[in-house]
Structure 1
Amino acid sequence: GGILLATAPPQGKGADLEAMFVRVSGESVDVLDRNAVVATATRAEMSECSKLVITSDSTQTYANFEGVTRTVEKTTPDGGRELVTVPVDGRLLGDLRPQVVGVFTDMKGGVPDGLSFHMTIDSRFSSSPTLLKMVAVIAAVLLTLLSMGALAVLDTSDGRGHRRILPAHWLKPTWADGGIIGTLLLWHFVGANTSDDGYILSMVRVAPHAGYLANYFRWFGVPEAPFGWYYYVIQAFAEISTASPWVRIPALLCGILCWMVISREVVPRLGNAVARSQVALWTGGLVFLAFWLPYDNGLRSEPIVALGALLTWVSIERAIATSRLLPAAVAVLVAAFTLAAAPTGLMCVAALLAGIRPLVAIVVRRRKQFGDLA
C-alpha cells in the first residue's frame, strides 16, 4: 500500500483538498481528486488492468482502469433485468483540475517499463510579446526619449544652459564618506543578511532552468511581474556566482549611492546652517546606517526602493528650484522604475504629489510663453 501518484506532497497543508492522489490499500486502488473519489477498483481486479488512465481538463476529471470490467445487473427498457459488462471507471463533472506542486510517489527501486507521466500545465496567463506589442514597446521608449529631448530644448528658452547632472564637488571624498562608506563595505562582509535571502537566492538560481523568475514560495510559481525587475539583476549576478558577497553587490552599490545623494543633494537643501555643519552631516550618516545595516544588507528590494525614492525627491526639488521640466520628467521615470521594482516603491508618488503645484505653475508659464507659437 501507499501513494502510487500524488501531485502535491501528501503531508502538505490542504493537499487532500487541492491535489490529485492515487492511493493503494490492501483492498483497493482509489483515484481521488480534490478530496473526491473519481474511480476505485479492488486489488483483485488489478490483475486484469493493463493501464490506469486519468485525464483532467476544464470540463471533467475522468479515470479508467483499462481492461477491468464488472458484470452488473441493469433494467431493460421493457422492465426486465439483464447482466451487462461495464468498464471500471468514473468521472467528476466540472473544472476540478488538481493543483500541481510536483509528481510524488511512494514506489521504490527502478522505474518500470512503460511508466510515464504527461501534463499540460494551465498556462493561460503565460504569454510572449507579439510583433505588434514589441513595436509598441520600442515606439514608447523612442517617443519617451524624444519628448525628454524636447523638454531639454524647451528648458533652455530662458537663455541659461543645463545644470550639470553631477556637480564638480560630487566626487570629492570627505571624512564622512570614509566613515559611512567604509562601514557599508565592512558590513557587506561581516553583517547579517535579511531573513528572505534564502528563498530569493533559490528563485534566481532556478530561473535559468524554469525560463522565468518564479516566486514559488509565496505565489505558487507566479512571476514577480509587474514588480520585481530588481530580482532579475540579482539573477544576472547569480549566473556568474552564487557567493553571498557577490550577489549582494547591487545592495551595496545602492547603499553607497544613497549616501552620496543624501550628503551631496539632500543635506545642502536643508539650509546653510545644516549644510555647513559637520555635526549634522555625521548625525545624518549615523541615522542612515542605523536603518540601512539591519534592513538592507540582503537580496530584498528595499535598497533599490530607498535609492529610487531619494532620486525622485531630489529630481522634483531640482525641477522646482531651477524652473525646469526635464528633471521632473526624470523624476517620473525614476518613480515608475522604482514602483516596478517593488510595491513599496509607491512612496515615490508622495514626492510627485508634493511637487504638483509648483510644477503646474512652470507648465502654465511655458504655455503662456510658447502657446501662440504652437
Structure 2
Amino acid sequence: MENLLRPLIVVGGSVVLTLFIGWATDRLLSKADRRHPETPLWGLLRRGRIPYQLVLCAAFLRGSYDEAELLVDHRVGIGRTLTLVLIGSAAWLAIRIAGAVVETSYSRYARVHRDAARVRRVRTQVSLIMRVVSAVVGVVAAASMLLTFPAFRAAGASLLASAGVLGIVAGVAAQSTLSNMFAGFQIAFGDMVRMGDTVVVDGEWGTVEEITLTFLTVRTWDERRITMPVSYFTSKPFENWSRGTPEMTGIVYWHLDHSAPVEAMREKLRDILRESPAWDGRAHGLVVTDSTPTTLQVRALVTAKDADDIWTIRVTVREEMIRWLSEEHPYALPRVNTAEAALVPGRTDATRVTGAIGPQRRAHESPHADR
C-alpha cells in the first residue's frame, strides 16, 4: 500500500500545488491589471501562465521525485528529463517576462510622445532587442541542456581548445548572415528605416512591415510582400518618404492643346483642392512647364500631410481636371492637327507654294508637260 500511496502523494501533490499556485498568481495579476489600467504590464505577464506552471511543476517533481520511489531503474533518465523541462520552461518564462517589460516600456513611450517617426523608431529598436534577447536566452538554455549530459561536459575542454578555429571557420561560412545581422543593428539604432515607413526600393512603392536581424519585409500598395536582406538598405540608395516630417509635395502632369485655358485651370485646381479632405492647405500651383509642336505640358503642384494622402489627392486632381476639360473645354484636349498651316503675312498660298517647290518642279517636269 505504501508503494502505491507514496508516488501518488508526491506526484499528485506536486500537480495540485502547481495548479493552486498558478491559479492564485493569475488571480493576483488579474486584480492588479484591473487596479492599474494605465499600464499593460500585469495583463502581459498573464501570458506567461503556461511556462510559469511548467517551471513550478518541473521544480516540484525534480525535488521530490527521489522520495516517490517510482520507476527506480529509470531514476536517472527521468530526473534528467525533468531537468531539461525545467530549463526549457524557465527560458520560455524569461522570454515572456522580458517581452512584457519591453512592451510596457514601449507603450508608455508611445503615449507620452506624439511624434510618429520617433515612435516607429523605438518600435523598430524594441522589436530587434526582443529578437536578440530571445536568441541569447535560447542559446543559453540549449547550452545548459547540453551540459546536463556528462559526455558533453567531458568534451568541454576540447571544444574550448578548438573554439578559435571553429569561430574563424564559422565566421567565413556565415559572412553574409553576419553582415546582415550587423546591418540590422545599424538600421535599428542608426534610424535609417523604421517599421511603418513609406519607402521606394527597386521601383516598388510600399510600407515597411517587418524588420528582423537578417531581412526586411515591404508591403506594397497591391498587398504584395517584398522580402530583402537588411544589408540592401546599408549598401544601396533608397527613397524613404517618411524620413523627417511626413508632409509631402506631389505633382500632376497633363499634355494639352496649345489653346488650353491655363488661367481657368488654376481656378479649377483651387476648387478641387478646397473640396478634397486630403489636401493639407500648405501650397498649390499650376504652371506650363514645357511645350512641343503639338501640345503643352501643364504641371500642378499639391501638398498633403503624408504619402497616402498625396497619392489620393494626385489621382483626384488628375481625374477631376480631365473630366472638367472634357465637359467645359474639349478643345483643350490633345488632338491630331489636320488644319492647314498659317501663311506668312503678305504672301499668297500660290506664291508660297511656287517659291517652295518651283525650282524642284521645273527640274523634274517633262518638256512636253504643257501639251
**TM-score, structure 1 length as denominator?**
0.25
From the two aligned structures, give the one with the greater helix fraction.
2
Larger Rg: 2
TM-score, normalization: structure 2? 0.25
